[in-house]
């Protein structure tokens, strides 16, 4: 017999992982992106790319794919996102590139975002 609606909706399938960030002096947590968060992240990346391609640097020039993925992935130990204000993406973008690379790479792998997915976003 297959799973019921309640079993599916109550399944704990969004997990949390601890990362050590010595440059920040401690640990952070990342979460697997929900379907909604992943769609929002992909949509924002596509908007950024399209605006930059069209020369519209006003709204999105200070955003990066890595900072945006960190924005959606960083959470507390219970999986509650740390960042919810989109202006925080620009602030994260000013953090160490090496740290954001690490967080982004870990978040990408943890949420099963393939390199092909990233290439497709960049291509579009």
Q: Residue 44: its pLDDT value, please?
A: 80
User: Strands across the sheet with 74-75, in order?
Assistant: 16-21, 26-31, 74-75
- Indicate whether 77 pLDDT > 90: yes
Give me the chain's average pLDDT, please: 85
CA pseudo-torsion sign 15, 43, 62, 104: positive
pLDDT band at 20 (very low <50, low <70, confident <90, very high): very high
Q: What are phi and psi of 31, to 5 degrees?
A: -120, 155
Query: Which residue's entry shows tokens 């390199």?
Result: 115
What pTM did the predictor assign? Answer: 0.81
Instruction: Show the CA angle centred on residue 111, arms to residues 7 and 41, nearest 5°.
Output: 105
């Amino acid at each position: 017999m297959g799973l019921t609606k309640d079993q599916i909706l109550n399944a704990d399938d969004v997990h949390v992982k601890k990362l050590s960030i010595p440059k920040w002096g401690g640990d952070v947590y990342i979460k697997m992106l929900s379907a909604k968060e992943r769609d929002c992240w992909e949509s924002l990346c596509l908007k950024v790319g399209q605006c930059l391609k069209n020369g519209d640097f006003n709204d999105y020039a200070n955003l990066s794919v890595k900072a945006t993925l960190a924005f959606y992935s960083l959470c507390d130990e219970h999986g509650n996102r740390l960042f919810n204000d989109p202006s925080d993406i620009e602030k994260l973008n000013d953090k160490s590139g090496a740290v954001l690379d690490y967080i982004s790479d870990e978040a990408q792998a943890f949420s099963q975002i393939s390199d092909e997915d990233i290439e497709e976003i960049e291509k579009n």
